[in-house]
Amino acid sequence: MADKSATFVGPIRVRLFSLTIILLLLSLLAVSADALRQFEADLVPEMDRKAVAVGQSLEKQITRGLNYGIPLEKMRGTEEFLDVARKSHVEIKYVAITDRAGKVLFSVGDAPTGLSDHLSESAGEGFPSGQSQAIGEQLLSALPLIAGVETVGGLHVGIDQKFVQNKLEDIIYDVLIVLLVSLLITFELLLFLMTANISRPMESVHMLMSRVEVGDFRQNLAHDSRDEVGRFITTLNGLINEVNGHYMQMQRRVSEFLTLSGPDSAEIRKKLGAHISQLLNRVHFAKDGTPEVVREKSLVDVRTPMFIFIFAEELSRSFFPLYVSDLYVPVPGLTQEMVIGLPISLFMLFVAIGTPFAGIWTDRYGSRRIFLTGAILAIAGFIGTGLAPNLYHLLGWRCMTAISYALITMACQGYIVAMTTAENRAQGMAVFIGAIMVAAICGTSIGGVLADRLGFRVTFFLSAGLALVSAIFVHNTFARHIRDDGDEKPPLRFAHFVALFSNARFAVLMLFGAIPAKLILTGFLFYLTPLYMNELGHSQSEIGRGMMIYFIAMVFGTPIFARLADSMGLQMLPVIAGGLLAGGGAMVLYLWNDTLGVVVGLAALGAGHAMSTAPLISLVPIVCAREIQNIGQTTVLGVFRILERVGSVAGPFLTATLVGVFGSAYAIAALGAIVLASTVMMALFFAAAGVRPRGPAKEAA
């Protein structure tokens, strides 16, 4: 069925995406080109005025010298004096003093092409002031230098004609970020639109027509659109209802006939009976004439709202620690660095605590209700965070947002679990993780751009708006009664943690693999990158772009490394290689404590995590084969998920402590050293003990 709809949908999606890219590029190009034209028309006269002001200031001081009787050509230190003026104003490229014939006596900066002709011409006219002329790539203003009543020379100030263009080039990266984010949003929305309006209804139509072809008239399709596909479905449902109606009518008449007819109608009875049994052998009708209404579901239902919600959450990623430092108040027993890390740690803690409960509530009340509850809390949390007057309010609102995060992620996971089988669940989860990563790229990068212009607080209000949009999506698309009808999940107990930690392999994997990975993620990426890049003098937009590197490496690296690891049948090697890369990358800051070091560190962290995250999870069932037999894989993975968050919670605190001791750059390097050392210890342990448990593995097999 899917193949049949793919004949339409696949090419159209590609064409629509191409059309959107072309329209976006052309629109942005047109808007930017026009902005440059208008800026030049408007700003060049301002630059000219400034050049005249600088010229007048220089002229006054030179005239003072002339009035003391010093000849123009003998003024000492003139070039140094002119150079100070030139260097104080970025748009001024050239300053020169000429004699009355236009011969250059002193000059600093780059002379524009065609200068000498202009100077002789200007000298001939007596260096008319107030008229700047475009000479080569500069706009040249002239002022006469007068000793007493006699013009002894001219002062010339050249401004860079490309200054406005260069100013606009400052925002080229921001415009590119807008383009990238627009394209990613386009991809997400078109995916949703095409799936919800074409692919899914068409698959349903094909399914229904195929059922009818084999004589099954027992189902109708649920739909609520009034487009071409919707109208067709309405007519199709009408046909099925008509067939069932005819059958019901026929049945009624036959039954009336059989009740009323006498024994002489045996021939007709026989004929009728033959007709009906022939029909019922080939055709199935709805029981009471009312077909069952079926609604097709899709993973895109969950992908789009999840994308929007994570986008909202990630908008503040690039500036959150800076926002916290704005609201800083001393907290007894904690250093300033620790206080700034506190909201991130608390957020992670509440996500960790909230996740198991959110899972239970999702099972009990359904994904739709839990998502909507989470979205309401998120909206309140974002608005509250944006309005927080001090740190304590901020902590409260962030805890609320953390709970909403736990509720929403668990609601989405619950929806995926309910919609998938054990065979295609991994694919379903990949859809979920893909949405998170793409949203993280978009949110982190555009969040920085928005915070730069609109401020931190307004960006939180935008997050609240996006959370509302995600809630509207879920309200309209999530099936009302969808639940996971799979196996009953046992609640997590303390005994499960004890049982798993008594497995040395699990303990080592946890303590030296999973926890350090989360530790460096929250410590380096979430907490210290914004603070350190700000310390290096970067704008919010630049910080957002820097952090985006991590997510890009994850998005592109994860599938590549996962395929590579699967094809080679490796799990432990990518985990160790990833740990070494992430730790080693961060240690680069020890040598290069500058922007390049941060960029290399983030890229290595992203690539390292792309390499190790999926194999690390796939190692859990291997090292815990015995425990899985006893308490089940879901429980084991649940314990793993909760315990790894210990690293997320501890990350900002540990990093803050390291910053207090070593400073920002060396703190990142120290985090790298911790991850590197943990990975080496884990590698040594598994080299000695082996990945698979020896005795129990056989039992398990």
- Residues numbered 237-276 forming contacts with other proteins, rule: CB under 8 A: 238-239, 242-243, 246-247, 249-250, 253-254, 256-257, 260-262, 265, 268, 271-272, 275-276
The pair of three-digit structure tokens given for residue 400, joined into one six-digit string: 């609320």
Rounded Cα gap, residues 550 and 59, in angstroms:
54
Smallest gap from residue 161 Cβ to other proteins (A): 14
Fill in the per-residue mask, 96 to 115: x = in contact with other proteins (CB under 8 A), - = not in contact: --------------------
- Binding status of residue 67 toward other proteins by CB under 8 A: no
Smallest gap from residue 15 Cβ to other proteins (A): 5
Nearer to other proteins, 446 or 519 (CB): 446
Nearer to other proteins, 459 or 655 (CB): 459
> Residue from 2, 10, 42, 594 that binds other proteins (CB under 8 A)?
42
> Residue from 100, 105, 215, 626 that binds other proteins (CB under 8 A)?
215
- Which one of 50-58, 147-155, 427-435, 506-514 is the stretch in contact with other proteins (CB under 8 A)? 50-58
Nearer to other proteins, 178 or 376 (CB): 178
SS (H, E, C) 617-635: HHHHHHHCHHHHHHHCHHH
Smallest gap from residue 196 Cβ to other proteins (A): 9
- Which one of 43-51, 132-140, 310-318, 687-695 is the stretch in contact with other proteins (CB under 8 A)? 43-51
Rounded Cα gap, residues 300 and 596, in angstroms:
38
Rounded Cα gap, residues 563 and 427, in angstroms:
14
Beta bridge partners of 159: 92, 139
- Binding status of residue 80 toward other proteins by CB under 8 A: no
Closest CA to 310 of 213, 405, 384, 421: 405
CA 134-138-140 angle, 5° bins: 65
> Residue from 116, 165, 225, 424 that binds other proteins (CB under 8 A)?
225
Beta bridge partners of 343: none
Residues sharing a CB contact under 8 Å with residue 150, sequence separation 6 or more, in sequence order = none
Nearer to other proteins, 234 or 633 (CB): 234
- Which one of 224-232, 319-327, 352-360, 660-668 is the stretch in contact with other proteins (CB under 8 A)? 224-232
Nearer to other proteins, 56 or 336 (CB): 56
SS (H, E, C) 321-354: HHHHHHCCCCCCCCCHHHHHHHHHHHHHHHHHHH
CA distances from 156 to 74, 107, 127, 128, 319 (A): 18, 9, 9, 11, 45
Fill in the per-residue mask, 640 to 679: x = in contact with other proteins (CB under 8 A), - = not in contact: ----------------------------------------
Considering only residues 173 to 192 of the shown chain, the ones binding other proteins according to CB under 8 A are: 174-175, 178-179, 182, 185-186, 189-190
Nearer to other proteins, 131 or 251 (CB): 251
Smallest gap from residue 138 Cβ to other proteins (A): 16
Smallest gap from residue 603 Cβ to other proteins (A): 26
The answer to whether the CB of 202 falls within 8 A of the CB of 8 is yes
- Binding status of residue 472 toward other proteins by CB under 8 A: no
The answer to whether the CB of 608 falls within 8 A of the CB of 680 is no
The answer to whether the CB of 373 falls within 8 A of the CB of 468 is no
Bridge-based pairing state of the strands 138-147 and 133-135: antiparallel
Find tokens 């990945």 and name the residue.
Answer: 691
- Binding status of residue 380 toward other proteins by CB under 8 A: no
Considering only residues 288 to 347 of the shown chain, the ones binding other proteins according to CB under 8 A are: none
- Which one of 219-227, 374-382, 468-476, 512-520 is the stretch in contact with other proteins (CB under 8 A)? 219-227
Q: Sign of the C-alpha dihedral, residues 475, 477, 478, 481?
A: positive
> Residue from 7, 133, 424, 427 that binds other proteins (CB under 8 A)?
7
Smallest gap from residue 202 Cβ to other proteins (A): 7
Find tokens 């690390």 and name the residue.
Answer: 616
Size of the site for other proteins (CB under 8 A): 96
Give residue 366's region: left, alpha or beta (phi > 0; psi -120 to 50).
Answer: left
HSE-up of residue 57 (Cα within 13 Å, Cβ side): 14
- Binding status of residue 596 toward other proteins by CB under 8 A: no
Element (H, E) at 407: helix 391-419
- Binding status of residue 8 toward other proteins by CB under 8 A: yes
3-state helix, strand, coil in the chain (%, to 5): 75, 5, 15
Smallest gap from residue 163 Cβ to other proteins (A): 9
Smallest gap from residue 451 Cβ to other proteins (A): 12
Rounded Cα gap, residues 493 and 483, in angstroms:
23
Fill in the per-residue mask, 125 to 164: x = in contact with other proteins (CB under 8 A), - = not in contact: ---------------------------------------x
Considering only residues 427 to 466 of the shown chain, the ones binding other proteins according to CB under 8 A are: 446, 449, 453
DSSP state of 72: G
> Quick count: other Cβ atoms within 10 Å of Cβ 566?
13
